[in-house]
Chain A
Amino acid sequence: MLEVGVVKAGIVRDVEFTLSPGTVLGVAGKNGSGKTTLLKFIAGVFEGEGQIKWKGKDLRKLSFKERMKVVNAVPQNFEPNLFYSVYEVVESSSPIPLRRKEIDEALEEIGLCGFGRRIFAKLSGGEKVRVLIARLLAINPEIVLFDEPSAFLDPDVAVVVAGILRELKNNGKVVIVASHDMSFLLDNCDLFLGLKGGREVFWGGRGDFLQALQLIYDVPLKVAKVDEEVFIKPNYRR
């Protein structure tokens, strides 16, 4: 069980929830609603008041390095200013020592076979996100945080990422995904947390989430169902 209780962390106030292993939580909200801050607080990168317990143990009592072995993340955007190879980026940013073979396997899983020696800074946006996801798979933490995983991704890669989320869920991980992409969240998450101005405005399952969209985003959104698939879009036309 992951128990999160944020009293105050940056803009985020009074957010409390509990997740059991094998759950994917989607965090929805507008820009600046505190999605990234919440994720950073859970990772321990952002200091704040509150508590985080994993299997009854207080994560905040762990050393920073030990904590990173339990909870790790795919950051929102990452641009290195040195020309490291993919191997070097993954190795240098891992809290555990990784063998090249393990990194290769993770890269293969996400469709980047043979990318180990490529220069990270010269990859495309989608390839970078995939390398960061492969990094996470290689580290294999218990709690996995994704910050905007579907940004920059082509549809085919977004499908691969969705598959990874499912696999993590089936392996009993706790997965938390923050995203702007409502459709991506809707299709890939079990539970939803809506944030507005750093406060919790919604908590619930898929059906309720569709009802609460306007509350979270402050704008009328069109929801359409075609062949059991749900599409959400704002009204662009006047």
Chain B
Amino acid sequence: MLVFLLLLTAAVFYLFLCWKLSDGKILVWLRLPEALVAFSFGGILGVTGVVYQGVLKNPLASPYILGVSAGAAFGATVAAFFSFPVVFGSVLGSLASVFLLVLFSAVYRTSTEILLFGVGMNAFLSSLILFLYAVMPSSTVQDALFFTLGFISPQPLKFSALLFLLSLLALFILFPFGKWVDALSLGELGLLSGVRFEREGIILLVLSALFVSLFVGVVGIVGFVGIVVPHIGRLLGFRVSNYLMPVSFLIGGVLLLFSQFLARTLVYPTVLPVGAVTAIVGVPLFLYVLWREGRA
């Protein structure tokens, strides 16, 4: 695992080295914003992954798997379709899907059922997005498609710095609730600490969805970071959320930065959608982590 982390950091250094070799202006005005967006989104996905896995007591949960990201993407696509601001669409979309999730959780209480409902909602919303593509004017489909795949498009430096600050803010807002996450992850025993899914859990789910949706509105859907990252953190020995959250923020940030680096260099000069790369990197990594955890 340590070797893997070293590899990751090496790749990041290499990324920086690449930048050094190219023109300095490109570096500051194009690559730095890109790196900031990648790092902060990855960090957010890592932290919200910790929250979702804890609150839903399921090591497979993440905003992506549960359709919260898909809800945001769907909302954004609808907003783009009617030429509304995309971010409003994504926030509304993800809040709507969390609302459905919470509504469902009031009826079916086991976390497996909630997870399955989320998976179903994810599939449903994804096909709705595809449906929208079918009826969209073909000139806009290309852009929208990259949006579902997660594409870090060039952003102004100020805006990306703002996103970075936002991600730090999200970490600081969610961090104090680490005890709730831990208690909720203990299920029936955690209930005896006075923390309930019906109140504290829902607050956490909604807060996390809000942060994720802001980024989905900018970048699009990025899968597998949210699931894998908390497991890597746990494998490194950080189990309690107060440690796991900041660690996952860092690992998630590095992982998405690394993915963006791959997205840029794998099929040079074409830039791949980062969401596609995270799935390629994330799935084998996920399987590896699960295997290691089973033997730990």
Within 8 Å CB of A17, what residues of B?
Answer: none
Contact string against B for A residues 155-174, beta-carbon threshold 8 Å, 1 for contact and 0 otherwise:
00000000000000000000
B287 within 8 A of A: no
Decide: A93 and B196 in contact? CB cutoff 8 A.
no
Which of A77-98 touch B at CB < 8 Å?
Answer: 78, 80-85, 88-89, 91-95
B240 within 8 A of A: yes
Decide: B194 and A64 in contact? CB cutoff 8 A.
yes
15 residue pairs bridging A and B, Cβ less than 8 Å apart? A45-B192, A64-B199, A65-B193, A68-B192, A68-B193, A68-B194, A69-B194, A78-B187, A80-B189, A84-B182, A92-B186, A92-B190, A92-B240, A93-B186, A94-B193
Within 8 Å CB of A95, what residues of B?
Answer: 192-194
A43 within 8 A of B: yes
Decide: B194 and A132 in contact? CB cutoff 8 A.
no
User: A64 touches which one: B58, B187, B189, B196 (CB < 8 A)?
Assistant: B196
Residues on B facing A (Cβ under 8 Å): 57-59, 179, 182-183, 185-196, 199, 234, 239-240, 293, 296
| Distance in angstroms between the alpha carbons of A81 and B184 in the assembled complex | 12
Least CB distance from B292 to A in Å reads 12
| Distance in angstroms between the alpha carbons of A211 and B237 in the assembled complex | 55
Within 8 Å CB of A80, what residues of B?
Answer: 185-187, 189
Describe B's contact surface by its main secondary structure. Answer: loop
Chain A minimum-CB-distance residue to B181: A92
| Distance in angstroms between the alpha carbons of A88 and B244 in the assembled complex | 13
| Distance in angstroms between the alpha carbons of A160 and B204 in the assembled complex | 40
Within 8 Å CB of B199, what residues of A?
Answer: 64
Decide: B239 and A45 in contact? CB cutoff 8 A.
no
If A88-B239, A88-B240 touch, whether A93 touches B192 (CB-CB below 8 Å) is yes
Least CB distance from A84 to B in Å reads 6
Within 8 Å CB of A45, what residues of B?
Answer: 188, 191-192
| Distance in angstroms between the alpha carbons of A92 and B186 in the assembled complex | 8
| Distance in angstroms between the alpha carbons of A132 and B199 in the assembled complex | 25
| Distance in angstroms between the alpha carbons of A127 and B240 in the assembled complex | 22
Of listed A66, A82, A84, residue having the most chain B CB within 10 A: A82
Decide: B59 and A93 in contact? CB cutoff 8 A.
no
Least CB distance from A106 to B in Å reads 15
Least CB distance from B232 to A in Å reads 14
Least CB distance from A73 to B in Å reads 6
Decide: A75 and B189 in contact? CB cutoff 8 A.
yes
A8 within 8 A of B: no
Of listed B190, B192, B296, residue having the most chain A CB within 10 A: B192
Within 8 Å CB of B179, what residues of A?
Answer: 92
If A81-B57, A81-B59, A82-B234 touch, whether A88 touches B182 (CB-CB below 8 Å) is yes
User: A81 touches which one: B58, B188, B193 (CB < 8 A)?
Assistant: B58
Which of A92-121 touch B at CB < 8 Å?
Answer: 92-95
If A84-B239, A88-B182, A88-B240 touch, whether A75 touches B59 (CB-CB below 8 Å) is no
| Distance in angstroms between the alpha carbons of A91 and B190 in the assembled complex | 10
User: B182 touches which one: A69, A92, A132 (CB < 8 A)?
Assistant: A92
| Distance in angstroms between the alpha carbons of A69 and B269 in the assembled complex | 62
A72 within 8 A of B: yes
A180 within 8 A of B: no
Decide: B188 and A75 in contact? CB cutoff 8 A.
yes
Decide: B58 and A93 in contact? CB cutoff 8 A.
no
Least CB distance from A43 to B in Å reads 7
Decide: B239 and A78 in contact? CB cutoff 8 A.
no
Within 8 Å CB of A83, what residues of B?
Answer: 234, 239, 293, 296
Decide: B239 and A93 in contact? CB cutoff 8 A.
no
Decide: A67 and B240 in contact? CB cutoff 8 A.
no
Chain B minimum-CB-distance residue to A68: B194
Which of A164-221 touch B at CB < 8 Å?
Answer: none
If A68-B194, A73-B192, A132-B189 touch, whether A93 touches B240 (CB-CB below 8 Å) is no
Decide: A65 and B187 in contact? CB cutoff 8 A.
no
